[in-house]
Structure 1
Amino acid sequence: MSEEGERMEIDDLLSEILLRLPPEPSSLPRASLVSKRWRGLSRDPAFLRRFRARHRSHAPLLGGFFTDYPTPAHRNNFVSFVPTLDAPNRVRFPFPVADFPCILFSCRHGLVLAASEHRQGFLVWDPVTGDQHRLEEPPGLDAMNGAVLRTGEGHFRVVLVGHDEHHTQALACVYSSQTRQWGGVISAPIPPVVSIVTEIPGVLVGDSIYWLSSRNPDHPTPILEFNLGTLSLAAIQLPVNMYGQGNHSLWVMRAQDDGLGFLFLWGTDAQLWKRTKNGGDDAANSWTIAKTIQMDKLLSLNTEEEKRSLSIEGLVEDRNVVFFRTAIGHFMVHLESLWSLRCKELSETHIIHVFHPFSSVYTAADNSTSS
């Protein structure tokens, strides 16, 4: 074998070894210190694409984004990031567009979707690679919420949802980065006086995305389903009314059997509901409580003020990890194991209404953006 062929064979073998490193932000920078050859391979763009693709399905939680609402000093909404890992895996992602006052719609598959406050379109951003895509508003749809999904290396889809001015039809539209076009507007009837909640992100369960809607207090809360396979919309009635504790007392999530579920706070009891397929016509009878968690005991909420302050502020949808806000701090709770962790970083930031957890494979050649 020639010297060049031997060198390429060693590089291929070394690449396979590096691919198996854990996807923590410090893994590749540490490996790059071994030698010049390791440093070159760990910074190679083709290798980095392979590394991200290999680990994307179990990417670490790096932190989360939130909409930083106006204050006397700042009159517009902006998007901020809070890291949740300790050094040397602690990274920060400053929002890339300074003149884009916006509302955060979605974080999924390592991508961020933000909507302009002033009807200047939408931004899809990959914080790790820095890639940005500006999208114009689709004709015929005033978006109330939306979701972004990665469909392959370098490609994504955006789903926007809204309703007509009379609140009788739900509307949706899909953008594909492969065609660089919006599809036609999709519609479906919805119950009267239903409005899609803008602040709470949609949740991906199976082949559908679900958004929370609001209605007057005399009716059960509906959720809006968009099926990614059939490109169809449907309204699903829930058996509870979220107005009992406020909008942040209810969050759509994946049930333990991977079906549709939701988390509902009733006082300090966290009820995990799941949808059952009994074939009946009564929507309320198709839901059952799978589990109840006494959050006051789990999080040591002792006073009435501490108990009343409990609310849901975010969800890691593929791991059923929920972020809770209380008067004594912010907590991350795994709903199956009941493992909990206080998140000091969230308590030290601005007031966070809704937290969008961000998981991705950080592949910077050095940790220049870490802290």
Structure 2
Amino acid sequence: MAPATALLDELAEEILLRFPADDPACLVRAALACKRSRRLVADPGFRRRFREFHGAPPVLGVFRNTISVCSIGGRRNIGGGGLVTYGFGGRARAQPSAVARFVPTSSCLAGARWREWRVVDARHGRALLYKRRQSWDSDDRLVVWDPVTGEKRELPAIPGSPFEIKDPFSWNAAVLCAAAGCNHLDCHRKPFAVVFVAIVRTVMFDCFYSSEAGRWSQPAAHCAQQTDDRLKLEPSVLVGNVLYFMLQSRAKILNYSISTREMGVIDLPTVCFSERRIVFMAIEDGGGLGFATVRDSKLCLWSMEVGSDGDAGWAQRGVIDLKKLLPNSAFSSPLPDVVGFADGIGVIFLQTNDGVITIDLKSSRVTRVPKISGGSSIFPYMSFYYPALGAPAASTGGDGPGTGASSVSKA
């Protein structure tokens, strides 16, 4: 390559590297503008450098569970917070039904909506969705879906069929990349794992799915440290090698070690003992576990500290006065509440009377997120996207996520 050409390529690449990662359409337009840009954008080396330049993957969309009402007769259903309930005598009755939605914040991905599915988790470029059984002769379903590649995998039944337990139980689950040494900037098509945790009366248990093995581990039982609580189907957080799950009372959280499969319960500060939501945060630069909640008109940030005796405590590390950032209309009923957190980029999602907004904890920049209606917690979908991948066809109905996508596998 001639020196002049190499210099032009280097200059062009330096410009392209600075294109916003959360707006892949900019790279699409650049790739269509001239042959040099198209060649550079298509180069795997450029894609690697683009990821490294920007660091944490951007938010390309959000998953959210909304509610509709459907008629359910004589069958068991997963109700609020994952608690199992039952129908009676085959008589149809109206029950709220979850509708999973994917709302893209980038024009390169298509929105989607699936009735009677529920979003359980989103992490490392994948989403975990659940569909309760539709009849006594059908099965509960867990599916892992990648909105960028269109690939999905329906997971096999969990050993011991926890959904068959006749005692009321609660559960939650998490999906994560399982590739050794991965920096989690490009987890697509790499091995993944799913962690399933549950509380059944006085017993906690877990089960671990490996995409490489294509099967679940045998469930492991743990003696519960409390018997009057249950898991909530809200976003978990991964800090190092430990997953944290919210419990229904908001007074405690469940922690799960991926490496040892040990489980435990950690007390939260009394500030959490209210109807206001909290969202978990992984504090950057190895800061450990944190959470955010709104009190009055202030966004309060907390972090966990482990003392010399090994016991966990909590310290408030920051307060943001929302009245200095948001218009007065945002404080009309209902008051602002936290609904999500984008790990790695330090962005909090707030539900306000004006809609959903984000607050960048570093810059205090406020951004309105359009097209997101009311609902439950928000699961940010974070990934890099490149024009060469192509946009998968999203499903607005059909039988689950990824219908019509480029690749489907079943374990």
| TM-score, L = length of structure 1 | 0.78
The alpha-carbon distance between structure 1 residues 366 and 192, as it changes in their structure 2 partners (threshold 3 A), is closer
Q: How far has the Cα of 1:229 moved from its partner?
A: 2.2
Matches within 5 A, 1:129-148: 129-140=149-160, 141-142=162-163, 144-148=171-175
Matched, 1:274 2:274: no
Paired residue for 1:3?
A: none
Given that residues 224 and 234 in structure 1 are in contact (C-alpha distance below 8 angstroms), is that contact kept between their aligned partners in structure 2? Answer: yes
Given that residues 330 and 354 in structure 2 are in contact (C-alpha distance below 8 angstroms), is that contact kept between their aligned partners in structure 1? Answer: no
Given that residues 63 and 84 in structure 1 are in contact (C-alpha distance below 8 angstroms), is that contact kept between their aligned partners in structure 2? Answer: yes
Whole-Å Cα distance in 2 between the matches of residues 115 and 190 of structure 1? 27
Given that residues 124 and 134 in structure 1 are in contact (C-alpha distance below 8 angstroms), is that contact kept between their aligned partners in structure 2? Answer: yes
Aligned with residue 361 of structure 1, among 377, 384, 399: 384
Write the letter of the residue equivalent to 1:26: A
Given that residues 314 and 355 in structure 1 are in contact (C-alpha distance below 8 angstroms), is that contact kept between their aligned partners in structure 2? Answer: yes
The alpha-carbon distance between structure 1 residues 230 and 55, as it changes in their structure 2 partners (threshold 3 A), is farther
Q: How far has the Cα of 1:51 moved from its partner?
A: 7.7
Q: How far has the Cα of 1:55 moved from its partner?
A: 7.4
Q: How far has the Cα of 1:301 moved from its partner?
A: 3.7
Q: How far has the Cα of 1:72 moved from its partner?
A: 6.8
The alpha-carbon distance between structure 1 residues 55 and 117, as it changes in their structure 2 partners (threshold 3 A), is farther
Paired residue for 2:110?
A: 93
Deviations 1:151-205 (A, max 9, x none): 23521111111111x1x2222211111111111223332312110011x110111
Write the letter of the residue equivalent to 1:305: S
Matched, 1:161 2:197: yes
Matches within 5 A, 1:24-39: 24-34=23-33, 39=38
Matches within 5 A, 1:1-371: 21=17, 22=19, 23=21, 24-34=23-33, 39=38, 57-71=55-69, 76-85=97-106, 90-95=107-112, 101-118=116-133, 119-140=139-160, 141-142=162-163, 144-152=171-179, 154-164=190-200, 166=201, 168-188=202-222, 189-198=224-233, 200-215=234-249, 221-240=251-270, 242-246=272-276, 249-255=277-283, 258-280=287-309, 283=312, 286-301=313-328, 305-306=332-333, 308-346=334-372, 350-365=373-388
Whole-Å Cα distance in 1 between the matches of residues 263 and 53 of structure 2? 32
Residue 351 of structure 1 aligns to a residue in which SS?
A: coil
Whole-Å Cα distance in 2 between the matches of residues 178 and 72 of structure 1? 37
Q: Which has the higher contact order (CA 8 A, sep 6+)?
A: 2
The alpha-carbon distance between structure 1 residues 300 and 35, as it changes in their structure 2 partners (threshold 3 A), is closer
Deviations 1:290-328 (A, max 9, x none): 11222233323468734x521111110222211101112
Deviations 1:81-125 (A, max 9, x none): 22334xxxx2333449x6x73110111111111011224321111
Unaligned runs of 5+ in 1: 1-5
Whole-Å Cα distance in 1 between the matches of residues 330 and 98 of structure 2? 34
Write the letter of the residue equivalent to 2:260: T
Whole-Å Cα distance in 1 between the matches of residues 248 and 368 of structure 2? 30
Kindly, what percent of the aligned residue pairs are identical? 26
Q: How many residue pairs align between the two structures?
A: 340
The alpha-carbon distance between structure 1 residues 227 and 52, as it changes in their structure 2 partners (threshold 3 A), is farther
Deviates further, 169-178 or 185-194: 185-194
| TM-score, L = length of structure 2 | 0.71
Whole-Å Cα distance in 2 between the matches of residues 26 and 213 of structure 1? 40
Whole-Å Cα distance in 1 between the matches of residues 34 and 100 of structure 2? 39
Given that residues 29 and 366 in structure 1 are in contact (C-alpha distance below 8 angstroms), is that contact kept between their aligned partners in structure 2? Answer: no
Q: How far has the Cα of 1:280 moved from its partner?
A: 4.1
